[in-house]
Amino acid sequence: MKSKILAALLAGAMMFSLVACGSSNTNQTQSSGSSSTGNSQMDELVAAAKKEGELVVYGSCEDPYIAAACQKFEATYGIKTSWQRLTGGEVQAKVEEENGNPSADVWFGGTSDPQAICASEGLLEAYEAMNAKNLVSEKFRDANGYWYGIYRGVLGIFYNKDELDRLGLAYPTDWNDLLDAKYKGLIWFSNPNTASTAKLTINTFVQMRGLDAAMEYFTQLDKNVAQYTKSGGGPSKSVGSGECVIGIGFLHDAIYQITQGYDNIGMCVPSSGTSCEIGATSIFKGAKHPNAAKLWIEFALTPDCVERAAETGSYQFLVLSNAKQPDVVAKFNLNPDNTIDYNFADAKANTKTYVENFFKAIGAAADSRFKTE
């Protein structure tokens, strides 16, 4: 119980605040960041980034992971690093409004879909990263260098076993199970206006079933949905307590809750198929600290960055050949390769339209179930 309370307090202290990371270590770390890498191009980039002396990060993964990555970057290079946690949809809306004059330099985490949309709108800066050689496949990056993958996570269903047992209901094993009227008022999903997880889910259904069938699915699902949370991780954070009985989201988020003592959580990879997110990082067009931003991309494509994930309870599969996968996910038998061949080009071109179709289909854009806070 204590670990749950402490985790909640930590998350609460970090939410929606712009913080400086690791300032007490600056004197110690300036020297560690100044050592030669043996790569003249990288050494020149480090020197130019240090002259800028600052980096601002928008993070769309979980707060502890963002904080740990920023602290490690500052400790390594002696560059003052501050961050703010926003959902993928919030970052997209913010940079679209700022239109080339961003208040942050880089985007870290969250699904690649909204980053791809921003790239198509001319709001991201292309950069050919030296450390992209560490990626296990070219599919984990934008071909033109607008974003780079750092992890992937399987989209699925999780549920509170105690509550379903109490209600005498079977555990869901596939997407169509969630349409059964017996689950009315028990399902939580995320808000497509704010959560990149929801956007990915909508794209996934369109790609698996076609546009019309996907919209019909969400129309039927809506009848059973109790709440559309602001963030994609919202359902997983409430399923252990039973406030959310069945959730749709990334299964690594459910694994984290299980590791916190909620052994009443069950989960499944839907039997008819699912997709896999690529969590990405990118540079905003017009970044005030462009060299520090490029150095961040190089850093994000190293174990020094991505292995901070498992240390802070983020159990995604890593996409770097030289990084160690989190041990805890092995026993859950999740295979990120056993997913659909996600069409990133279609998602880049059509996500906004598909989200509009979603709200037209369910007719509930102003519904109080759609949370924005």
Assess whether 160 and 249 both reside in one domain. yes
Half-sphere exposure of 78 (CA within 13 A, CB side): 15
Confirm whether 370 is domain-assigned. Answer: no
193-237: pLDDT as tens digits: 999 999 999 999 999 999 999 999 999 999 999 999 999 999 999
Assess whether 83 and 216 both reside in one domain. no
Confirm whether 28 is domain-assigned. Answer: yes
pTM as predicted: 0.83
Give the model's pLDDT for residue 1: 41
Q: What token pair was written down for 301?
A: 């494509």
Torsion of CA 225, 227, 231, 234, to 10 degrees: -90
Assess whether 234 and 304 both reside in one domain. no
Residue corresponding to tokens 């019309």: 212
Give the model's pLDDT for residue 233: 94
Give the model's pLDDT for residue 18: 38
Confirm whether 372 is domain-assigned. Answer: no
- Report the length, in residues, of the chain: 373
Give the model's pLDDT for residue 373: 83
Query: Cα–Cα distance between 190 and 173 in angstroms, integer?
Result: 20
Domain that holds residue 35: 2-152+278-330
Give the model's pLDDT for residue 118: 97
Pick from 154, 153, 66, 142: nearest CA to 109: 66
Assess whether 259 and 140 both reside in one domain. no
Assess whether 177 and 265 both reside in one domain. yes
Confirm whether 368 is domain-assigned. Answer: no
Give the model's pLDDT for residue 331: 82
CATH code at position 55:
3.40.190.10
Most confident residue range from 69-83, 318-332, 355-369: 69-83
Assess whether 135 and 218 both reside in one domain. no
The answer on pLDDT for 308 being more than 50 is yes
Assess whether 106 and 192 both reside in one domain. no
Residue 52 · residue 100 · CB < 8 Å? no
Assess whether 69 and 188 both reside in one domain. no
For all residues of the chain together, what is the average pLDDT?
90
Helix or strand (DSSP H, E) at 246: strand 246-250
Assess whether 245 and 350 both reside in one domain. yes
- Domains in the chain, number: 2
Assess whether 160 and 171 both reside in one domain. yes
140-194: pLDDT as tens digits: 999 999 999 999 999 999 999 999 999 999 999 999 999 999 999 999 999 999 9
